[in-house]
Structure 1
Amino acid sequence: MATLPPMLALPPELILRISSTLTTPELGCFRRTCKQVEVQLFDSFAREFFTKRQFMIEHPSLQALVGIANHPVLSKHLVEVIISTDTLPSSGLADQDRLPRALSSRGYMPREMLIHTGRARDLLVEAFSKLPKLRTVGLRDYDGKDRFRDGEHAYWRSYGWRFGGDDADLRDRHHCAQVSPVPLLPMLLYALGSARATPSNVEVFLRRHPKLTPASFDVVADVTTPVLRGLRTVMLHIMAPYPHYRALGDDDDLWCQLPFKRFLQETAAVEELRLNFEPNETLAHQMLGWLGEGVSSAITNIPHVPSLALPALRTLDLGKLNTDVGTLVTLRCKDQAEYQDDTSRWAAFFVALARALPTSSSLTRFSVGYPNQAGTVDGVHSLPYGAELRRVFFKKDQADDSPKEDKASFRAGYGSSIKHWLEEIAERTWMPSYQPIDLTDDSEDDENEEDEDGSDDADGDEEDEDE
């Protein structure tokens, strides 16, 4: 009687442990050693590489998405689809015509034709309609870090990023061109609606410029409304549509905001809402005013959008924005002396919020990170471009020499009170003497976005190159 090879005689748990130490190419070779090993590794392989995947709006990449959707097993594992703003490199190659010829020789369309003919949306519709467990659709302009199998400097890249050859130029992630994300979100939402897919999460993480503009949200229609109404998590990064947005008149401001307001009105079931804006733009300040109070337009030719009601909202995150304390909580001061430069408006905000919350508040979490405060102009708090910003910190305790931190957070527990915590954190709010803040430094923003999207190492989206 034939005996099993020593490897196959091992328990499945040990085979899985061995496979966890292999790089991606080595794992592909290991899976091909024999059918029994492939059977034992397939479930863990599918969870790791096909739970979350990233694609480009390029024909080879989208065709791979359709191939996964048509697979009887892998289609049931894919729950998160990320669309990247990356494109296939079209320059920097010795042969400038090499990539177009590589596309046409395999029956693929160039990117521009793929979009202009509607083929890109058709491929997305076909894929989305065959993913029964699709939960999250994302949009991003960067590659995920922490690819644990292939070293600390490896990235999770879009499927098909190496298409066209193995040249060093193709391997260099910095050679990947980027396209604007502005038209990509409408394409995704229309494709989801046409496929009758109802994901619960739409997540947009953007580190480069440009971001989404209000025009990206002009998508409210019969085909997209069911998608928007089924969303539970919405994460967006928005910027003003013009470089000098603050110079526009009131009518232009309202017209630009209209698509975004209508979009949010359709997401009444959302439970987690994250809105990132851009510093030194008035768009965030105006939109927060509408979120809190509603803006009644006196201009009759601009439709008025009622203030937003989110009865299911559990988490609200606001980031990278300039506003004043009155936009979030109405503060009344006896005289201008209360607005001296040494007064922390964050402390006043915490006190006012504590007073505004009911005694039996159900608020369970509250966090503030990297707060800044604008200076004053002629003794009046304002938000002009280039206003002097001062960093705000939180002391460990109320002692003057206590260590300072740039974050403060509350999590409800037995015997805890959000009202008491807000009053206590107001006492620990501290602002140093004025020092200019470099608004071009994105180090803190990058750290925040890693926190936003820290799951890249948990369920990867890299192509199995040896399959």
Structure 2
Amino acid sequence: MALVQVEPSLALGSDCLSRLPIELLLRITNHLTTTELCAVRLCSRSLESALRHFFLLEFFQRKQFMLTDFSLQTLLAIARHPVMSQSLRHVSFGVEEFCDPDRCAQSIEQALIFDKAVAQQKTLLTNGRGLQLLTTAFSLLHNLETVQLRDFPSRTRYRDGPSAAWTSYGFRSMREQLGKNAHYQLANTRNPDFSSRAFALIMAALAQANARPPNIKVLIHTKVAGLKDFAFDLTPMPCLNLPGISAGNGADVDTLDVLAGLRQLHLKLQFILHPLKTRHIRLDDPHLSGRSRLAAMESLPLHAWLAHCPKVEWLRLNLHKEARHYNDVFLSRLGSPLPAYYPLPPGSVASRNITMPFASKLRRLDLGIACCSPGVLLDVLGRFPALEHLSLYRFSLLYERDSAETPDNVWNKFLSTLAKSPLGWQLKKISLRRLSTVTRFHIHPYSRKTHAVKLDGSDGIKYTAELDKPVALWLHNLSISTIRKFSLEEDDSDLDDMDISDGGSKDYLHKEREDSFTEDEFEDGEDAQDEVDDFW
């Protein structure tokens, strides 16, 4: 452990603990539970001062909140605190929603608590109260770097035992109040629109608060809860005069300035909830079928949204498993010119012909839970000349029945082609996991026969290039040694957004880790060692 400089005044306490070197003090307190650590900090002023920096780093660098009055009021209290507000850099929002009102509560008191919570959460999202709370909090968090929307807890809470997890602030106390039926009444959203509404609310609050975090991340496991087209609406909002917020020049507020500064953008998308439904929509491309036109039409708001993100260096797109066979339409149109009839917001300087202005700057691309033809994927990858890191997770390549290739070697040919391309020599890292091959015919949304591609005896692998071992050579060898095994694809939609670890040299993938952080009640937070930049 590196030596840490502590002010001389911090070691002048009368108690023996405060006179210990900070390295020993940290080793001792590292074995305490959260409750015990808080009790130790209350022993003396000198002891609290010695542990303050590390306490804030562990518990108040990252926080997760529910979209409830109680939780957002706590976020506002932290934002107004002169010290905690400076430490908070990563704010997450859970999508816990009060649902299943028909479930019987254990008592009248619990029924009243639940009814009140349902009413407050609904009005919070509809009457402007949530927007005002979030806007005021964001305007006071001057060191904010990441805003995240997520629907799963973290299992990295080492202080309180292996079964403890970080959950959204207020989640545990509410479940205790609701009793044994809480897992029915308060759960991750089952409403397919809830995540999109929450995302739109958060983006509006960032714009109103003049906050410019460089990282926006959406990690959603629930298969029906991805972001829909209306989540990417760019309609300007009237300027609000809120307490503590500068009214500026009274001009309308939009999200264009927020998008202009984004460096990392992670999205879980859901453009088609029912893949088999059709609409009579005419687009400029006559080769698209009715259902494919629907996929292309619903993704237009996102394409316009991306057209206002010129600085993105890391793009992650997790698509929808049940609609994965229409994702080739979306991926093939990624970066295509916007139709002339699609309205851009007032004040937009985006070009209709350049819908990915960040293409020349993108360093990392992650694609998950998608399906497309090999040609479409190669074409998409070729649009990013500066790409250095590629990750494919639960990705399927389409096998055309009239193709000269067999289903067994679709991935072999793709990897070999990628190895020979300029991108193969340019890539520095690559991660492949749970690859498969499917046909266009007789597709069923839950059960389809696939060729599951296994790499080196594992379902996933990663590789980091070295001076004498470029990614291109590794891809070429991998294309030769790939093992094909015909199997029935399992329905594992609950793992839709699981990530893969990267970094290091050639190695198998680590076991999935969940990226999340949450709190007990007020004296809670996230494990500072839970670095989660590499998770689906």
Partner of 2:533: none
Partner of 1:235: 266
Work out the CA distance in 1 between the residues paired with 2:452 and 2:319: 19
Query: Does the 8 Å contact 1:375/1:390 carry over to 2?
Result: no
Name the aligned partner's letter for residue 211 of structure 1: G
1:278 to partner: Cα distance? 1.6
Partner of 2:451: 390
RMSD, aligned CA? 3.5
Question: Which of 147, 154, 158 pairs up with 1:144?
Answer: 154
Work out the CA distance in 2 between the residues paired with 1:271 and 1:165: 40
Partner of 1:435: 487
1:425 to partner: Cα distance? 1.4
TM-score normalised by the chain length of structure 2: 0.73
1:27 to partner: Cα distance? 1.6
- Please state whether the residue corresponding to 2:432 is helix, strand or coil: strand
Partner of 1:169: 179
1:392 to partner: Cα distance? 0.6
Work out the CA distance in 1 between the residues paired with 2:265 and 2:73: 27
Query: Does the 8 Å contact 1:145/1:153 carry over to 2?
Result: yes
Work out the CA distance in 2 between the residues paired with 1:391 and 1:190: 42
Partner of 1:400: none
Question: Which of 317, 320, 325 pairs up with 1:275?
Answer: 317
When residues 165 and 436 of structure 1 are mapped into structure 2, their CA distance, relative to the original with a 3 A threshold, is closer
Is 1:340 equivalent to 2:382 in the alignment? no
Work out the CA distance in 2 between the residues paired with 1:162 and 1:406: 36
- The share of aligned pairs that are identical, in percent, is 27
Name the aligned partner's letter for residue 235 of structure 1: H
Is 1:415 equivalent to 2:463 in the alignment? no
Work out the CA distance in 2 between the residues paired with 1:127 and 1:169: 31
When residues 347 and 164 of structure 1 are mapped into structure 2, their CA distance, relative to the original with a 3 A threshold, is closer
Question: Which of 419, 424, 436 pairs up with 1:372?
Answer: 436
When residues 131 and 259 of structure 1 are mapped into structure 2, their CA distance, relative to the original with a 3 A threshold, is same
Name the aligned partner's letter for residue 170 of structure 2: G
Partner of 1:255: 297
1:448 to partner: Cα distance? 4.8
When residues 185 and 101 of structure 1 are mapped into structure 2, their CA distance, relative to the original with a 3 A threshold, is closer
Is 1:214 equivalent to 2:229 in the alignment? yes
Work out the CA distance in 1 between the residues paired with 2:168 and 2:458: 37
Query: Does the 8 Å contact 1:69/1:130 carry over to 2?
Result: yes
Query: Does the 8 Å contact 1:269/1:312 carry over to 2?
Result: yes
- Please state whether the residue corresponding to 1:185 is helix, strand or coil: helix
When residues 334 and 178 of structure 1 are mapped into structure 2, their CA distance, relative to the original with a 3 A threshold, is closer
Partner of 2:219: 205
Partner of 1:76: 86
Name the aligned partner's letter for residue 177 of structure 1: A
- Please state whether the residue corresponding to 2:404 is helix, strand or coil: helix
Aligned length: 441
1:57 to partner: Cα distance? 0.9
More moved, 53-62 vs 215-224: 215-224
Work out the CA distance in 1 between the residues paired with 2:136 and 2:96: 21
Name the aligned partner's letter for residue 437 of structure 2: Q
TM-score normalised by the chain length of structure 1: 0.84
Question: Which of 206, 219, 240 pairs up with 1:192?
Answer: 206
Work out the CA distance in 1 between the residues paired with 2:44 and 2:183: 34
When residues 356 and 246 of structure 1 are mapped into structure 2, their CA distance, relative to the original with a 3 A threshold, is farther
Name the aligned partner's letter for residue 438 of structure 1: E
More moved, 382-391 vs 41-50: 382-391
Question: Which of 222, 225, 243 pairs up with 2:256?
Answer: 225
Partner of 1:463: 521
Work out the CA distance in 1 between the residues paired with 2:512 and 2:141: 25
Question: Which of 27, 30, 33 pairs up with 2:37?
Answer: 27
1:244 to partner: Cα distance? 2.9
Work out the CA distance in 2 between the residues paired with 1:250 and 1:408: 41
Q: Deviation string for 1:93-122 (max 9, x for gaps)? A: 52245427987xxxx981222222201011
Name the aligned partner's letter for residue 404 of structure 2: E
Partner of 1:313: 362
Partner of 1:54: 64
Work out the CA distance in 2 between the residues paired with 1:102 and 1:340: 60
1:171 to partner: Cα distance? 10
Partner of 1:133: 143
- Please state whether the residue corresponding to 1:45 is helix, strand or coil: helix
Query: Does the 8 Å contact 2:167/2:519 carry over to 1?
Result: yes
- Please state whether the residue corresponding to 1:408 is helix, strand or coil: strand
Query: Does the 8 Å contact 2:400/2:440 carry over to 1?
Result: no
Work out the CA distance in 1 between the residues paired with 2:321 and 2:259: 27
Work out the CA distance in 2 between the residues paired with 1:272 and 1:325: 22
- Please state whether the residue corresponding to 1:344 is helix, strand or coil: helix
Query: Does the 8 Å contact 1:220/1:263 carry over to 2?
Result: no
Query: Does the 8 Å contact 2:169/2:518 carry over to 1?
Result: no
Q: Deviation string for 1:2-31 (max 9, x for gaps)? A: 993433443333333222211111122221
Question: Which of 313, 328, 332 pairs up with 2:377?
Answer: 328
Q: Deviation string for 1:207-249 (max 9, x for gaps)? A: 1132211221123645200111111001111112431356345
More moved, 139-148 vs 159-168: 159-168
Work out the CA distance in 2 between the residues paired with 1:114 and 1:224: 21
When residues 96 and 302 of structure 1 are mapped into structure 2, their CA distance, relative to the original with a 3 A threshold, is same
More moved, 138-147 vs 93-102: 93-102
Query: Does the 8 Å contact 2:173/2:521 carry over to 1?
Result: no
Q: Deviation string for 1:288-315 (max 9, x for gaps)? A: 10126x2686xx7557765534221000
- Please state whether the residue corresponding to 1:68 is helix, strand or coil: helix
Partner of 1:288: 331
More moved, 72-81 vs 411-420: 411-420
Name the aligned partner's letter for residue 310 of structure 2: A
Name the aligned partner's letter for residue 144 of structure 2: L
Name the aligned partner's letter for residue 390 of structure 1: H
- Please state whether the residue corresponding to 2:86 is helix, strand or coil: helix
- Please state whether the residue corresponding to 1:143 is helix, strand or coil: coil
Query: Does the 8 Å contact 1:66/1:123 carry over to 2?
Result: yes
Name the aligned partner's letter for residue 278 of structure 1: H
When residues 216 and 441 of structure 1 are mapped into structure 2, their CA distance, relative to the original with a 3 A threshold, is closer
Work out the CA distance in 1 between the residues paired with 2:84 and 2:47: 18
